Structure 1
Amino acid sequence: MSLQAKLDAFKTDFKAGKAPFFAPAEIHPVMARATAELIASGQAGRALKVGDKAPAFTLTDPDGQTVSSAALLAKGPLVLSFYRGVWCLYCNMELQALQAALPEFNALGANLIAISPQLAANSRKAQRNNALTFPILTDANNAVAAAFGLRFALPDYLVDLYKMLKNDLPAFNGDDSWTLPMPARYVIGQDGTILYAEVNPDYTQRPEPDSMLPVLQQQQAA
């Protein structure tokens, strides 16, 4: 089953309140409104795209080790996924799909990382829960996400909903700004040029991992 098919099936079960998803029915229109407003804002179209230069960054992994984009790109192309956090089941399903595709990325000379605003302890939990062998780097205050044009502030009514659901982003992220990155996937070439970009303000929609393979194959053949 494709990643999107799994996400669609999960979304259907979640909206239907099937076990173990017992979310109140009234939350769904609120979440749909927030997504529709983010789409209408046009922010996704202003995010970095193919042909742009990717911002350089230096972040820490869950063990506190410094990881720089320059060091990663010295080894080969970089596959980069912006990850909202361990609390996002859609995001976790995407990370699992990327993990399954990791051998193909590595065979084409590419490294894979995820970037998230969450604290290191939550990234360690995400790595354990999803059996990940690639790192989740901590992007404090969504600074790198902002450099890519992905950071957005949750509207007040969505903050209220998250609080009701005990989805405490300030506690998860160590940051009281109530901001998130739009889910995004990039392939960055060794010269820093963005070769593939997929940004979607609808967090329930994610590209298939194999959609990046043609770009990586072209890079290997170059």
Structure 2
Amino acid sequence: MLKSFFISSYILVAHLILIMSIHQLLTAGFNWYAFGLFISSAPVVLLFDGLMLTKSKARTDKSLSFFTLMIFIGFGFILFGNWVNDGFKAINLILESTVPIGWLLYLYWYSSFGNRRNSILKVGNKLPNLSLVDLSQNNFETNQLTGAPSILLFYRGNWCPLCMAQIKEIAADYQQLADRGVQVVMVSPQPQHYTQKLAKRFKAPLIFLQDLDNKAAKYLGICVENGLPLGMQMLGYDSDVPMPTLIITDANGNIVFTDLTNNYRVRPEPATFLRVLDQLRT
């Protein structure tokens, strides 16, 4: 619940600080303090708004070095502006530290899932039979996938821009996957109407399935309680979300590859699982 509240609040605060800094620069003219507020908050807004609006990036680097550098350069300007003007006040410094401290929390706490050791999804294990629901509201058992290699991607929902970009990447490479005889399965707990809307965007015959109440994700140990950003519940999404997880099975349903990323922004490139699939053919 804490992470859910944090991310929604942090993005909102960064937007408010950016608006306030622009207002100060336009009405009072240039000053180092307002300029620092602008430089420190703009990268946060640029990152999150850019991801949400374009939904074109399936991953970022772990450290987001450029954004981190700009945020702390901006904070340096804020401190300089305080020194030039009225000096430092403890209460002001706490408020002015919101963006850089929040950024560090975002990088090293919010983005991380910690240790994702998972005995069920070990390479070599047989994928357990999971009961899911297809777009026609029919039950779908994952043991139906035997007979050909399969990719299963557990994604968080249409609200997640990185998930949407990752699915788009896989759909773009579908012909390469089809040439290898691969079945591609997308699994999410989100309401059916969101999944149906998503499925219509792609011509590739991906198999979209619903994981009702996250039962499969919970069984596999890849579910995060209250992982949905606060406020998204009003759109009908479940508060619990799966951690982004990619599983590849062979024709017998045995797991040959899993990506259990410990950072939701770090995800495998399509070339990675294409290599795995090619190894199955040798």
Q: In which range does the TM-score fall when normalised by the shorter chain?
A: 0.7 to 0.9
- Once the 2 structures are TM-superposed, how far is the Cα of residue 66 of structure 1 from its aligned partner? 3.1
Q: What amino acid does structure 2 have at the position aligned with 1:78?
A: S
Quick one: structure 1 residues 129 and 15, their matched pair in 2 at CA, closer, same or farther if it must change by over 3 Å?
A: farther
- Once the 2 structures are TM-superposed, how far is the Cα of residue 49 of structure 1 from its aligned partner? 2.4
Gaps of 5+ in 2: 1-41, 53-97
Match of 2:140 in 1: 67
Quick one: structure 1 residues 202 and 85, their matched pair in 2 at CA, closer, same or farther if it must change by over 3 Å?
A: same
* Counterparts of 1:16 and 1:82, CA distance in 2: 27
Would you say 1:87 and 2:115 are equivalent positions?
no
- Once the 2 structures are TM-superposed, how far is the Cα of residue 28 of structure 1 from its aligned partner? 5.0
Structure that is richer in helix per residue: 2
Would you say 1:35 and 2:111 are equivalent positions?
yes
- Once the 2 structures are TM-superposed, how far is the Cα of residue 148 of structure 1 from its aligned partner? 2.2
Match of 2:270 in 1: 209
Structure that is richer in strand per residue: 1
Gaps of 5+ in 1: 1-13
Match of 2:193 in 1: 121
- Once the 2 structures are TM-superposed, how far is the Cα of residue 19 of structure 1 from its aligned partner? 9.3
Match of 2:240 in 1: 179
* Counterparts of 2:176 and 2:252, CA distance in 1: 21
Quick one: structure 1 residues 112 and 19, their matched pair in 2 at CA, closer, same or farther if it must change by over 3 Å?
A: closer
- Once the 2 structures are TM-superposed, how far is the Cα of residue 51 of structure 1 from its aligned partner? 1.5
SS at match of 1:51: coil
- Displaced runs of 4+ in structure 1, greater than 3 A? 22-32, 128-133
Quick one: structure 1 residues 59 and 15, their matched pair in 2 at CA, closer, same or farther if it must change by over 3 Å?
A: farther
* 1:18 counterpart (43, 46, 50): 46
TM-score (structure 2 length as normaliser): 0.60
Q: What amino acid does structure 1 have at the position aligned with 2:153?
A: S
Match of 1:49 in 2: 122
Calculate the aligned-residue CA RMSD, in Å.
3.0
* Counterparts of 2:240 and 2:186, CA distance in 1: 17
- Once the 2 structures are TM-superposed, how far is the Cα of residue 187 of structure 1 from its aligned partner? 0.5
* Counterparts of 1:210 and 1:17, CA distance in 2: 31
* Counterparts of 2:48 and 2:252, CA distance in 1: 46
Report sequence identity in percent. 22
SS at match of 1:213: helix
Between the two proteins, the alignment pairs up a number of residues equal to 193
TM-score (structure 1 length as normaliser): 0.75
Quick one: structure 1 residues 86 and 28, their matched pair in 2 at CA, closer, same or farther if it must change by over 3 Å?
A: farther
Query: Which has the bigger relative contact order, CA under 8 A and spacing at least 6?
Result: 1
Moved more, 17-26 or 205-214: 17-26
Give 1 or 2 for the bigger CA radius of gyration. Answer: 2
SS at match of 2:126: coil
The answer as to whether partners of 1:61 and 1:138 remain within 8 angstroms in 2 is yes
Residues 126-149 of structure 1: CA distance to partner in whole angstroms, max 9, x if unpaired?
A: 223566531221001211112222
